[in-house]
Structure 1
């Protein structure tokens, strides 16, 4: 199984137009017939005026097959793409291998945090190994949705998706986590493998599977 995180960047005036057309046309045309949509968000803090959407495929071969079929869907090619092409200023993709089960939350009304770290060359596996050892304790403060290593798009990158009931809950969880000595020990152990840390806070769209 592989995952693909797609990130589209917009000018402020174009983002609402894209979301309207994606919700009314794009999702109905594509559905889950060309890859399973796991989440569809807008960025709230961090990088602005972006849409992030996560897709799941059984394999690289299936992704190639389904993307080819999508490019032959006339409703997609003639009815969707020509409308949104002028609004999208930049597109980025990450093809990612999972290192933990994908666990969607059961409730709605959440906010999400996507954290993506660049590691020293050849050290992603080392960091992930230490992180997975620390993960049971880390999840006392908030729940992880997914953990991945990027294979295509961003080399030497690991990313993880977290869910919170709201922004206040995130602030409180991060504060309590910072006081946890076992987490501090993990940070000391994992820090030598890291070169860059980034995050973005994500708000689900009204058509996102993850709410």
Structure 2
């Protein structure tokens, strides 16, 4: 085997903490798959938020007929009058085909888009992959709240900060107070950005759990090591819509 290949394989194992079989399924900062996730954020006019959410719940079935919806939420804390939704695509050709089909879908365009666009102030999207060591999870039960945490990391990618970041995430998981749903690394949009989606039974359970975690020496050590590579972070408390697959 070529020496360069051995070095690359060892690097993968060290960075992501995976065995030989799993290493073959992971390349660099993302999983070795064409599947990606489009993360959409809409700013809604404050006076129109209730109307917009009602429209989504009523007409989203026209949209989900074309591609898979992972989740749809509105912000409760950390941001106001925003909605988040995540869509799964097999590849970029799949997304292109879906967008073309939506443009020609008279029900979607006529019943939802024509009425919803005037309610929006701004739209933003990103494309992201799940990191190699994370599969998309589900909450242990319906109900509860979600936390969307965005980390802006220093340039260099997971080769620089991947190991420390994963250790910090695992340290929080091991405390048992929260459930990890997904870790996404951006491909389009602001780069060197990681989004982490957590589920908690309630805002108070989250607050109590984080208080205990901050007194755990293992969590403190892992976080201190990870923040060396952090430029900024932001979070928001999300409430799932009735139509959201992740509830």
Establish whether TM, by shorter chain, passes 0.5. yes
Q: How well do the aligned residues superpose, as a CA RMSD in angstroms?
A: 1.4
* TM-score in terms of structure 2 length: 0.80
- Gap regions ≥5 residues in structure 1: none
Matched residue, 1:85? 117
Matches within 5 A, 1:6-21: 6-21=40-55
Matched residue, 1:210? 246
For 1:128-182, what per-residue CA distance to the aligned partner results, in whole angstroms no more than 9, with x for missing partners?
A: 3223234443212311000010111221101100000101110011111111111
CA distance in 1, matches of 2:44, 2:36: 27
How far apart are residue 14 of structure 1 and its match?
0.6
Distance change in 2, residues 1:112/1:4 (3 Å) = same
The structure 1 segments of at least 4 consecutive aligned residues displaced by more than 4 Å after TM superposition are: none
- Gap regions ≥5 residues in structure 2: 1-34
CA contact (8 A) 2:74 2:83 kept: yes
CA contact (8 A) 1:113 1:201 kept: yes
CA contact (8 A) 1:146 1:161 kept: yes
In the alignment, does 2:82 pair up with 1:46? no
In the alignment, does 2:61 pair up with 1:28? yes
* TM-score in terms of structure 1 length: 0.93
How far apart are residue 77 of structure 1 and its match?
1.9
Equivalenced residue count is: 209
CA distance in 2, matches of 1:13, 1:124: 41
CA contact (8 A) 1:124 1:193 kept: no
Matches within 5 A, 1:150-169: 150-169=186-205
Of structures 1 and 2, the larger Rg is shown by 2
How far apart are residue 82 of structure 1 and its match?
0.8
Higher helix share: 2
In the alignment, does 2:88 pair up with 1:56? yes
CA contact (8 A) 1:119 1:193 kept: yes
Matches within 5 A, 1:86-165: 86-99=118-131, 100-139=134-173, 140-165=176-201
